[in-house]
Homo-oligomer: A and B are copies of this chain.
Amino acid sequence: MATFPTNIPEKTVERLSEYRRTLLAYRRQGVTHVFSHVLAGTHGITAVQVRRDLMLIGFSSDTKKGYDVEVLIDFIDKILYSEDKMNVAVIGMGHLGQAITKYFNGKQLKIRITAAFDIDPEKAGHTIEDIPCYDMSEFEEVVTSKGISIVIVSSSSKTATSLVVPIINAGIKGVLNFTSAPLNFPQGIVVENYDITTILEKVAYFVKAAEENNNN
């Protein structure tokens, strides 16, 4: 295999993840080949965009029948996933944390949620959604013993900022933050602030803007 490409743009990585799930659905339906314009249509983008994304990862085996679904899935897998499985922990096992855990682990991903943390004594020490839940005091120890590299923060926004130091100290490499408190980490830790309120407000704004444009 060629060198692992480390400089793929964010949007392309997102789309590769989306293509992969569409390709898995095709495979389940027995589809063996797909044209770039069909893949593009499903995602509401242009065929040029699809071909550009696949060129960026060095995939070029387009045939007269289109892309080989099986081969393309394997190729994207090599980009998106480590050879080693990636272990993820969830901090905050309220409604959102439990929903996320159930949601991720119900899918066939190579990234797995393998530990949860909560300050609630009714949760810590128990198994929730098939995952052991620990007290935050055990964070560093569990992260090390389980080889966890990514955390999902689904605690309250108030708690979230107090998690920054423990996360740094435990050597976590990636953070997916679902709270509305923006979290800042030193360089070397990948952070995705993913506040769902922001997205709802964005949709609301564009709905309003479209109405205004219609009225004028």
B184 close to A44 (CB less than 8 A) = yes
Query: CA of A96 to CA of B97 in the docked complex: distance in angstroms?
Result: 9
Is A197 an interface position by the 8 A CB rule?
A: yes
The one of B42, B82, B100 in contact with A196, judged by C-beta atoms closer than 8 angstroms, is B100
A197 close to B99 (CB less than 8 A) = no
Query: CA of A210 to CA of B173 in the docked complex: distance in angstroms?
Result: 9
The one of B22, B99, B208 in contact with A98, judged by C-beta atoms closer than 8 angstroms, is B99
Query: CA of A182 to CA of B44 in the docked complex: distance in angstroms?
Result: 8
Chain B nearest Cβ from A88, distance in angstroms: 7
The one of B4, B150, B197, B204 in contact with A107, judged by C-beta atoms closer than 8 angstroms, is B197
A190 close to B173 (CB less than 8 A) = no
Chain B nearest Cβ from A82, distance in angstroms: 5
Known: A21-B197, A184-B44. A205 touches B8 (CB 8 A): yes
Among A87-143, those with CB < 8 Å from B are 88, 94-96, 98-100, 102-104, 107, 109, 111
| Sample of 19 further A-B pairs with CB below 8 A, known A80-B204, A109-B201, A173-B207 | A4-B212, A5-B209, A6-B212, A10-B202, A13-B201, A44-B182, A44-B184, A80-B205, A82-B204, A82-B208, A88-B200, A95-B102, A96-B99, A96-B103, A99-B99, A99-B100, A107-B197, A150-B207, A173-B211
8 contacts between A and B (CB under 8 A): A5-B209, A7-B209, A109-B200, A109-B201, A111-B201, A150-B200, A190-B203, A192-B203
